[in-house]
Each structure stands twice: as C-alpha cells, then as structure tokens.
Amino acid sequence: MQLLPDQKSSRLTAILLLLISSIMVYLLVFHWFFIRHQEYWTELGEMRVQLGRFEAVAAMRTTTEDRLQFIRDSREDASLFLAGADFNEAAAAMSDRLGQMVRTQAEQDCQIVSRQPVRSRVQERYQRVTVNVRMRCQPSDLLQIMYRLESEVPMMIVDELNIIRPRARRRTGGTIVETAASLDIRFNMSGFLNQ
C-alpha cells in the first residue's frame, strides 16, 4: 500500500484541484460581477433604443406644431358645417332654424307651407343635407329671411328659388280690384355635414 500517489497521477490530480479551486473562486468572487455588468449592458442598450425614439419624436416637433396649428385654424371653419350627427338631425335643425327665422323676422302673414328633407343622390366629400321648402310671404320678409339664411353660421345655401306671385282679384260692385297677395315661394335650402 502506497500513501503517496504516483508522480504521473499526482500531477494530474494537482491540475484538477487547481482547476476546481479556480472555478470555485470565480463563482464565489467574480461571477456576480460579470452577471451584473451584463444586466447593465442590456439595460443600457434598451435605454439607447428609447433615447432614439425620443429623439425622433423631438425631431418631429416643428412638423407637429405646424399640423396642430392647421387643425386649430380648420376648427374655425368647422362652424360652417351643420351641427347634426346624421342627415335626419341636420335636416330637422335646418327646418327649426327656418321656422325660428320666420317667427322672428317676418310678419304674421308669412308662413311655411311645407318642409321636406331630400337626400342627395350624388356622393360628395361632405354629406349634403337639402330641405325643400314652400312658403308664402311678402317680398320684404322674403328678403330678410333669405339674407339671414345665407349670411349666418352654419352656412346654408339657397338654390332653385322659384317665386310665383298669384293674382288675387276681388269683385266689389261692378269693378274688379286686384289685391296684394303673398308670394308663393319654393326653394331648396342646403347645408353640409362634416363627415
């Protein structure tokens, strides 16, 4: 029985012991240091990507500010459109507005005979809301109503205006007297929805 190993095997044993002890020293002393630095490098890379995104957004600032100003300016034009959410609401609002104008601007003999909404058959950029209107009014009342319709906000367009002056004759005694009758007025009142 030998207490000391062979010289050949003792060298191999010493090398294996050195290797095992160096691995143990690495794991106990240095491994956490390298792992922590690797996490730092990963986090630093993510921050660089995020910084690149922030710089790209910051570079678009002037373009975005110009676009925002354009949108603010166009909102002023938005008041020219009808306020209804769909065709029926806008047509009802237009009819109500005309009724209010007749009540406030015209005399008692001015009246709305009929109002009928008509959908446009042509597809346009903005949805057109049209109401066919038939009224009986005096000329001075008609001028005030037409002026207010086309000059106030939201913008409305009056087209296909037909004015008929009916002849009203009365016979008093043996003479025929023409009386002033209200004008028979037909027109289309149109506005646009911003859709």
Q: Which helix H or strand E contains 183, and what residues bound it?
A: strand 183-193
Quick one: average pLDDT of 53-58?
A: 91
The answer for 160, left when phi > 0, alpha when psi is -120 to 50, beta otherwise, is left
pLDDT for the residue numbered 169: 66
pLDDT in tens, 151-164: 888 888 899 999 98
Amino acid, res. 184: D
Indicate whether 4 pLDDT > 60: no
Q: What percent of the chain has pLDDT over 90?
A: 25
Indicate whether 3 pLDDT > 70: no
User: Lowest-pLDDT range, 4-8, 14-18, 56-60, 89-93?
Assistant: 4-8
What is the spatial distance between Cα 185 and Cα 157, in angstroms, rounded to a whole number? 16
What is the spatial distance between Cα 58 and Cα 156, in angstroms, rounded to a whole number? 43
Average pLDDT of every residue of the chain: 84
Q: What percent of the chain has pLDDT over 70?
A: 87
DSSP 129-182: EEEEEEEEE-HHHHHHHHHHHHHSSS--EEEEEEEE---EEEEETTEEEEE---
Task: Work out the end-to-end distance of the chain between its first and last CA atoms, rounded to an integer number of angstroms.
Answer: 102
Indicate whether 101 pLDDT > 60: yes
pLDDT bucket at 48, cuts 50 / 70 / 90: very high
Per the listing, tokens 């038939």 go with: 134
More confident residue, 179 or 38: 38
